[in-house]
Copies of this chain bind each other. A is one copy, B any other.
C-alpha cells in the first residue's frame, strides 16, 4: 500500500484550527485548542491505550488483553496515530518472535496528568448527570 490514500487515520476531524496557529473567533480560542486535543485523543481507544502505556512499556498483545474489547485493527490504528503525534514510542526488537514495545513519551505522561482533572470532574458529578438525564428523559418521554 502506498500512502496516497490513508482510509482512516482515526482522528483527524479538526478543520477549524490551523496546524499550529489559532484562526479562531475571539473567545473561541480556548474551545478551539481543546478541540485539537480531543480530535487527537478523543477516539474510542486512545485513552485506554495511553493509560496502559503510561504505567510502563507494553507489548502489542498485552495491550490487546489490557484494553479489552479493542479489535486488532483499532489497536494498530490508534497506536499508529499516537505514535505519529509523538505520544507513544515504538520499539521493535528484531528477535525471532517479533517483540514490539510501546512506551509513553513525556508528553503523553503530562497528558495523563491533565486527564485526572477530567476524571475527577466525572467522578464528582457522575450521579448528578445520570440524575439530570433520567429527569430529562422522563419529562420528555411521559409528556407525549
User: Which chain A residues have a beta carbon within 8 Å of chain B's beta carbons?
Assistant: 2-3, 13, 16, 19-20, 25, 27-28, 30-38, 40, 42, 44, 47-48, 50-52, 55, 66-69, 83-87, 107, 110-111, 113-133, 136-137, 140-141, 144
Name the B residues within 8 Å of A113 (CB-CB). Answer: 117
- Given A27-B51, A30-B115, A69-B16, are A37 and B86 also a contact pair (CB < 8 Å)? no
Q: Closest CB-CB distance, A139 to chain B, in whole Å?
A: 10
Q: How many copies does the complex hold?
A: 2
Q: Contacts A3-B140, A38-B38, A86-B133 given; 17 further ones with Cβ under 8 A?
A: A13-B44, A25-B66, A27-B51, A30-B51, A33-B118, A33-B126, A34-B118, A36-B126, A38-B47, A40-B129, A84-B132, A84-B136, A85-B133, A86-B136, A87-B129, A107-B128, A114-B118
